[in-house]
Amino acid sequence: MMYYSRLRMASVIGVCLIGLALCLPNVIRQPMASLPWRQIHLGLDLRGGSYLLLQVDMNSVTADRLRGLQDETRQTLLKNSLGYRNLTTSAHGVTFTPRTPEEAQPDIRALRAMPMNVPGEFRVEQAEGGQITLTLSEEAARQRSYDAVTQSIEIVRRRIDATGAIDPEITRQGDDRIIVELPGISDPERVKNLLGTTAKMTFHLVADSAIGSSVPPPGVELLPMTDGQSKLPVFSHVDVDGADLTNASASIDQQSGEWAVNFTFDSTGAQEFGDVTRANVGKRFAIVLDNKVIEAPVIRTAITGGSGQITGGFSAQQATDMALLLRAGALPAPLNVIEQRSIGPSLGADSIRAGGYSLAAGFVLVIAFMALFYGRFGWYANIALLANLVLMTAILSLFEATLTLPGMAGMLLTLGMAVDANILINERIREEVGRGRSALQAMQAGFERATGTIVDSNATALLAHVMLFVFGTGPVRGFALTITIGIVTTLFTTLLLSRMLMVRWYARTRPSALPV
């Protein structure tokens, strides 16, 4: 208890020095690119910016897959010369009635042989009444939603990068959510609009014969125009898919002087586009974005160059954004914003100032208190406190943690609580001195008895904050993280560093009485 080997002393001091070195990246510039340079990031609440929580619309992912499954079922049955009645899609699966009860077994055999995206994607079963049902499995649903989120994150990243945002953070949260953090963007309206658009572009032929009829014939859909006023009947069949685009850009059309979006297809798309336009000269071709018709120009000649132009009466911003969306690609499912928080830069600066001053004032008060009430050993505790602050900063830098406003409060509270261990030791030593022990015995007893108490009391606090970290979100997690790290550094600085200072002082001076 009262002896510190050279090695032990060197390691305690070494840890503190390493801590000090790790703090450097927060205050000075990186001298060499090869040096690892990790620093604490400021949270959005301190630097200003926006936080968006997006939810992927899984219902639409499932609905898409079921629609595909219904198509495949129809084609499979027809290919095998099997008949069906009442082929429908419900929320859970695809259902139909076989033409005759005898055909049920061949139906099931044929359907089970259909290709699956993942093994065991769907089950084919016959119900009591003779109906045959195809149901998607839970397993496959999970896989599908995982893929949809992964793909969405990629598209979201491309779209946000294209807006020129600095240091955006895009992360997956839970099963179907995406967190987007945009430092420095305090008005996220444009980003919200960009992310709120699926941007699925398709080209369809217009069903001229159905114009004016309110109930479209089979294979034809009534789609709204983007002006929201009228509807246009188009064939459901997708002639060319916007997924085959390689590039899109906004420019001013030379002839009309209007803003337009130019697009270029890859070779597949160019081939299809050429074929369709050649075969349908004189007909109208609808450009559909997210189930809305942007425009439906008449095809004058075959377009074989693989590029085209959309003029939909856009403003400059609309044309730029649409080009951006087409370049970045379509989202696999709609994204809905369910939480947004944005903070202007001036408020962040105010918070840093208020938090910083309070932190400094609290620190000074604690130091003064310890010096006044505990004398020399109080100063040792203060040195340990300073080391504690350095080590906390070091570990937070090492993790490249994000410092939030509650996190700053957490640091302050840690410092207030950190001296508890020193107080416990000092009070214990005082008691032992009061009982008439010698200086050496009193210090020994103080360290020994107080250690158990210190570990116990810190362990309970640690438990509470680990829970907070697990269940908390956003800034509160920052708070829990700082306190958790703070408890660990507190144990180190009090149980090792301040004790070492006290022991060294004793070994140097061999006092007959302790300054308590």
Partner 1 sequence: MMFDRPLLRFVPRGTKINFMRGRFIGLATSAVLSIASLILFFHPGLTLGLDFRGGIVVEARTQGPADFNAIRAALAAQHVSAAGVQSFGGPDDVLIRLDTPPDSEPDHEARTQAMVDSVRHAIGTLPGAQVLRADAVGASVSKELFRNGMLALGISLLMILAYIWFRFEWEFAVSAVVTLILDLTKAIGFLVITHFEFDLVMVAAILTILGYSTNDKVVVYDRVRENLRKYRTMPLAELIDLSINETLSRTLGTSSTVFLAALPLALFGGASLSGFAWVMLFGIVVGTSSSIFIAAPLLLLMGERRLRRDARPPTRT
Q: In the complex, what is the shortest distance from the CB of residue 431 to partner 1, in angstroms, rounded to a whole number?
A: 7
CB atoms within 10 A of CB 187: 10
Query: What span, in angstroms and rounded, lies between the C-alpha atoms of 53 and 76?
Result: 41
Q: In the complex, what is the shortest distance from the CB of residue 19 to partner 1, in angstroms, rounded to a whole number?
A: 21
**In the numeric block, which tokens belong to residue 19?**
């801590």
The sign of the dihedral angle between the CA atoms of 378, 383, 384, 389 is positive
Query: What span, in angstroms and rounded, lies between the C-alpha atoms of 439 and 432?
Result: 9
**In the numeric block, which tokens belong to residue 101?**
């009860």
Q: In the complex, what is the shortest distance from the CB of residue 77 to partner 1, in angstroms, rounded to a whole number?
A: 35
In which residue are the tokens 């505990």 written? Answer: 374
Q: In the complex, what is the shortest distance from the CB of residue 149 to partner 1, in angstroms, rounded to a whole number?
A: 17
CB atoms within 10 A of CB 193: 12
Q: In the complex, what is the shortest distance from the CB of residue 374 to partner 1, in angstroms, rounded to a whole number?
A: 5
The verdict on 420 binding partner 1 (CB under 8 A) reads yes
Query: What span, in angstroms and rounded, lies between the C-alpha atoms of 39 and 398?
Result: 7
The correct pick among 9, 222, 417, 500 for binding partner 1 (CB under 8 A) is 417
The correct pick among 127, 434, 438, 448 for binding partner 1 (CB under 8 A) is 434
Count, residues near partner 1 per rule CB under 8 A: 82
Residue 148 or 514: the one with the smaller Cβ distance to partner 1 is: 514
Q: In the complex, what is the shortest distance from the CB of residue 86 to partner 1, in angstroms, rounded to a whole number?
A: 28
The correct pick among 405, 443, 491, 496 for binding partner 1 (CB under 8 A) is 405
Q: In the complex, what is the shortest distance from the CB of residue 161 to partner 1, in angstroms, rounded to a whole number?
A: 23
Q: In the complex, what is the shortest distance from the CB of residue 465 to partner 1, in angstroms, rounded to a whole number?
A: 7
The verdict on 49 binding partner 1 (CB under 8 A) reads no
Q: Is 87 exposed, middle or buried (0-12, 13-18, 19+ CB in 10 A)?
A: middle
The verdict on 509 binding partner 1 (CB under 8 A) reads no
The verdict on 63 binding partner 1 (CB under 8 A) reads no
Q: In the complex, what is the shortest distance from the CB of residue 423 to partner 1, in angstroms, rounded to a whole number?
A: 4
The correct pick among 12, 390, 412, 439 for binding partner 1 (CB under 8 A) is 412
Q: In the complex, what is the shortest distance from the CB of residue 138 to partner 1, in angstroms, rounded to a whole number?
A: 22
Question: Of 20-28, 275-283, 311-319, 411-419, which part binds partner 1 (CB under 8 A)?
Answer: 411-419
The verdict on 91 binding partner 1 (CB under 8 A) reads no
Q: Cβ distance 397 to 39 under 8 Å? A: yes
Q: Cβ distance 449 to 359 under 8 Å? A: no
Nearest to 108 by CA among 139, 77, 144: 77
CB atoms within 10 A of CB 497: 24
- Convert residues 270-309 into a mask of x (bound to partner 1 by CB under 8 A) and - (unbound): ----------------------------------------
In which residue are the tokens 């955006």 written? Answer: 168
Scanning residues 184 to 223, which ones bind partner 1 (CB under 8 A)? Answer: 186-187, 189, 192
The verdict on 515 binding partner 1 (CB under 8 A) reads yes
Residue 114 or 352: the one with the smaller Cβ distance to partner 1 is: 352
Question: Of 207-215, 222-230, 299-307, 477-485, which part binds partner 1 (CB under 8 A)?
Answer: 477-485
Residue 54 or 303: the one with the smaller Cβ distance to partner 1 is: 54
Scanning residues 315 to 374, which ones bind partner 1 (CB under 8 A)? Answer: 336-344, 346-347, 350-351, 354-355, 357-359, 361-363, 365-366, 369-374
The verdict on 492 binding partner 1 (CB under 8 A) reads no
Residue 331 or 415: the one with the smaller Cβ distance to partner 1 is: 415
Question: What are phi and psi for residue 183, nearest 5 degrees?
Answer: -65, 140
Q: Cβ distance 96 to 85 under 8 Å? A: yes
The correct pick among 458, 489, 490, 494 for binding partner 1 (CB under 8 A) is 458
The verdict on 258 binding partner 1 (CB under 8 A) reads no
The verdict on 448 binding partner 1 (CB under 8 A) reads no
Q: In the complex, what is the shortest distance from the CB of residue 362 to partner 1, in angstroms, rounded to a whole number?
A: 4
Query: What span, in angstroms and rounded, lies between the C-alpha atoms of 23 and 516?
Result: 34
> Largest Cα–Cα distance in the chain?
110
Query: What span, in angstroms and rounded, lies between the C-alpha atoms of 39 and 23?
Result: 8
Q: Cβ distance 465 to 483 under 8 Å? A: yes
Nearest to 183 by CA among 160, 149, 159, 153: 160
**In the numeric block, which tokens belong to residue 494?**
């009090």
Residue 136 or 412: the one with the smaller Cβ distance to partner 1 is: 412
**If phi over 0 gives left and psi between -120 and 50 gives alpha, with beta otherwise, what is residue 120?**
left
The sign of the dihedral angle between the CA atoms of 146, 147, 148, 153 is positive
